Amino acid sequence: DFGANEFVDLGSDTLEDVGSVDLVFDVIGGDIRRRSAALVRAGGTLVTVVGPTEVRPADGLTIDFVVEADRYQLSALVQRVRDGRLRTNIGKVAALDEAVATFNASERHTGKTVIRLCP
């Protein structure tokens, strides 16, 4: 629903078996980022959120995406969600005093977990 054709589960899939891809969105870094860069086809893009990368696709782009949000930017994102211009995938909302138990839960949730700071 969010546009991905395939998701690689590194616990049970072999990264290199995926073949050439248009986009890698790296949230792990290290060896996984190095191996992923080799999979990006010509004209494709490697986006990483874990800091600047020394590895680049042979014929593609690399985007080092590091976020330093401020109040104005966060307010603009909230407005986009409210307007329906930005979709979110929230799996669970928990109070701050439930945070440890929520992240240590034995059941898995689809989507992001949000920890609510105010009642």
Q: Copy the structure tokens of residue 39.
A: 């999979």
For residue 25, pLDDT beyond 70: yes
Q: In the predicted model, what is the mean pLDDT of the chain?
A: 85
Same-domain pairing of 60 and 19: yes
Asked if residues 107 and 97 have their Cβ atoms less than 8 Å apart, the reply is no
Same-domain pairing of 99 and 76: yes
Identify the pLDDT of residue 80.
93
Same-domain pairing of 60 and 80: no
37-95 tens-digit pLDDT: 999 999 999 998 887 778 888 898 888 877 777 889 889 988 998 999 998 888 889 99
Same-domain pairing of 59 and 91: no
Instruction: Give the number of domains in the chain.
Output: 2
Identify the pLDDT of residue 1.
57
- The domain of 43 spans 15-64
Question: What is the C-alpha separation between 77 and 69, in angstroms, rounded?
Answer: 10
Radius of gyration (C-alpha) of the chain in whole angstroms: 17
Choose between 108 and 82: higher pLDDT: 82
Identify the pLDDT of residue 83.
95
